[in-house]
Chain A
Amino acid sequence: MNLRLQQFGHAQSAYERPEQRWVCGWAAEGKPCPHGPDVKGRCHASGECHPVRQGDRWRCARRPDFGGPCESGPLPDGTCCNPIPVCQPRRSQRSRRGALVVWTCLATLGALVAILAAPNSRSFVSAGPLSSSHAFLANDCAQCHTTRDGGPLDAFDGARFGVVDADRCLECHDLGDHALMPHSVAELPSPEPSGDTPAIMALQAALVGSPDAQQVAGDCMTCHQEHHGSAVDIAHLTSRQCQSCHTNQFNSFEDGHPEFSDDAWARERALSYDHHSHETDHFQRSPEHALSCAACHVMNEQTGVMTLASFDQMCAACHDDQIRGAGRVAGAGFSILNLPAIDVRSLEDTDRWIGDWPADSAFVETGASEFTMALLEGLDAASVNLARSGDLVDLSDADDDALDRAADFAWRVKELWFDLASKGGPALAERLDPDGSGDDAPARVSAEAVRAAADAWMPNLRRDLAMRAAGVTPEAEPEPVDSSPASATPQSEDDDLFDDDLLDDDLLDDDLLADDDEDTDLLDEDDDLLGDDLLGDDLLDDELDEASEEETEPGDELSVPQWMLSAEDDVPGGGWYLSEDDFSVRHRPTGHSDEFMRAVIEWSSRRTSEDDAWSGLFLQVAGEGAPGACAKCHSALGTTDGEMVWTTPPSAGPEHGLLRFSHAPHVSGSTIGSCDGCHVPSRGASNGDFRPIRIASCLDCHRPGRSSSTCLTCHSYHSRTPWE
Chain B
Amino acid sequence: MIRFRTRRQVGLLVAIALSALLLIWHSAMRSSLRSTDVLTGVGLLALVLLLTSLNVRKKVPTAPLGPVAWWMQFHIYGGLFSGVLFLAHAGAGAPSGLIEIWVWALFVLVFLSGLAGLGLSRLLPARLTAGGEEVIYERIPAHRRKLLEEADALATAAAAQSGESVVADFHAHRLRSFLAARPRLLRPLRLGGHRRRALLQELDAQVRSLGKSDSRQMNELARIARVKDDLDLAAASQMLLRLWLFVHIPATYALIIVGAAHGFIALRSGGLS
Query: What is A's interface to B at a CB cutoff of 8 Å?
Result: 1-6, 13, 16, 18, 23, 27-32, 93, 96-97, 100-101, 104-105, 108-109, 112, 116, 123-129, 145, 148, 151, 153, 160-164, 203-205, 207-211, 215-216, 221-223, 225-229, 238, 240-241, 244-245
Partner of A108, one of B145, B258, B268: B258
Which residue on A lies nearest to B55, using beta carbons? A101
CB distance from B56 to the nearest CB of A (A): 13
**Interface assignment of B133: CB less than 8 Å from any CB of chain A:** yes
Which B residues lie within 8 Å of A216 (CB)?
33
**Interface assignment of B265: CB less than 8 Å from any CB of chain A:** yes
Within 8 A of A (CB), among B130-158: 131-133, 135-139, 141-148
* B272 contacts A226, C-beta separation under 8 Å: yes
* B137 contacts A125, C-beta separation under 8 Å: no
Produce 1/0 per residue, B1-35, CB < 8 A to A: 00000000000000000000000110111111111
Partner of A127, one of B24, B34, B273: B273
Partner of A4, one of B133, B141, B257: B133
* A151 contacts B268, C-beta separation under 8 Å: yes
Partner of A125, one of B242, B258, B265: B265
Which residue on A lies nearest to B27, using beta carbons? A204
Query: What is B's interface to A at a CB cutoff of 8 Å?
Result: 24-25, 27-35, 95-100, 131-133, 135-139, 141-148, 223-224, 226-227, 230-231, 242, 245-246, 249-251, 253-254, 257-258, 261, 265-266, 268-273
Partner of A208, one of B34, B223, B272: B34
* A112 contacts B258, C-beta separation under 8 Å: yes
* A211 contacts B34, C-beta separation under 8 Å: yes
Which residue on A lies nearest to B144, using beta carbons? A30
Which B residues lie within 8 Å of A229 (CB)?
96
A225 to B95, CA, bound (A): 13
* B254 contacts A104, C-beta separation under 8 Å: yes
Partner of B227, one of A5, A32, A210: A5
Which residue on B lies nearest to A130, using beta carbons? B96
A422 to B142, CA, bound (A): 131
4 more A-B residue pairs beyond the given contacts A3-B224, A97-B249, A124-B99, with a C-beta to C-beta distance below 8 A: A32-B142, A208-B32, A209-B32, A238-B31
CB distance from B24 to the nearest CB of A (A): 7
Partner of B142, one of A31, A153, A238: A31
Which A residues lie within 8 Å of B145 (CB)?
29-31
CB distance from A70 to the nearest CB of B (A): 18
A127 to B28, CA, bound (A): 25
* A100 contacts B250, C-beta separation under 8 Å: yes
CB distance from B273 to the nearest CB of A (A): 7
A209 to B29, CA, bound (A): 9
CB distance from B234 to the nearest CB of A (A): 9
A65 to B205, CA, bound (A): 38
Which A residues lie within 8 Å of B223 (CB)?
2-3
CB distance from B179 to the nearest CB of A (A): 11
CB distance from A354 to the nearest CB of B (A): 80
23 A-B residue contacts at CB 8 Å?
A1-B230, A2-B223, A5-B133, A5-B227, A6-B139, A27-B141, A30-B141, A30-B143, A31-B145, A101-B249, A104-B254, A105-B254, A105-B257, A108-B253, A112-B258, A127-B95, A128-B95, A162-B269, A163-B270, A207-B24, A221-B272, A225-B272, A241-B31
CB distance from A161 to the nearest CB of B (A): 5
* A164 contacts B270, C-beta separation under 8 Å: yes
Which A residues lie within 8 Å of B146 (CB)?
5, 30
Which B residues lie within 8 Å of A205 (CB)?
32
Which residue on A lies nearest to B59, using beta carbons? A19
Which A residues lie within 8 Å of B33 (CB)?
211, 215-216, 222-223, 241, 244-245
A79 to B20, CA, bound (A): 72
Which B residues lie within 8 Å of A4 (CB)?
133
Which B residues lie within 8 Å of A163 (CB)?
268-270
Partner of A161, one of B27, B148, B265: B265
Partner of A128, one of B97, B257, B270: B97
Which A residues lie within 8 Å of B270 (CB)?
145, 162-164, 221
CB distance from B151 to the nearest CB of A (A): 12
* B269 contacts A164, C-beta separation under 8 Å: yes
A222 to B273, CA, bound (A): 12
CB distance from B36 to the nearest CB of A (A): 10
Which B residues lie within 8 Å of A108 (CB)?
253-254, 257-258
Which residue on A lies nearest to B242, using beta carbons? A93
Partner of A227, one of B97, B147, B227: B97
A215 to B95, CA, bound (A): 26
A128 to B242, CA, bound (A): 37
Which A residues lie within 8 Å of B249 (CB)?
97, 100-101
Q: Which 10 A-B pairs have the closest CB atoms?
A: A30-B145, A128-B96, A163-B270, A1-B132, A104-B250, A128-B97, A30-B141, A127-B97, A244-B32, A204-B28
* B250 contacts A101, C-beta separation under 8 Å: yes
CB distance from B134 to the nearest CB of A (A): 9
Which A residues lie within 8 Å of B253 (CB)?
101, 104-105, 108
* A207 contacts B28, C-beta separation under 8 Å: yes
Partner of B28, one of A93, A109, A203, A215: A203
Given contacts A112-B258, A127-B100, A227-B272, contact A1 B138 (CB under 8 A): no
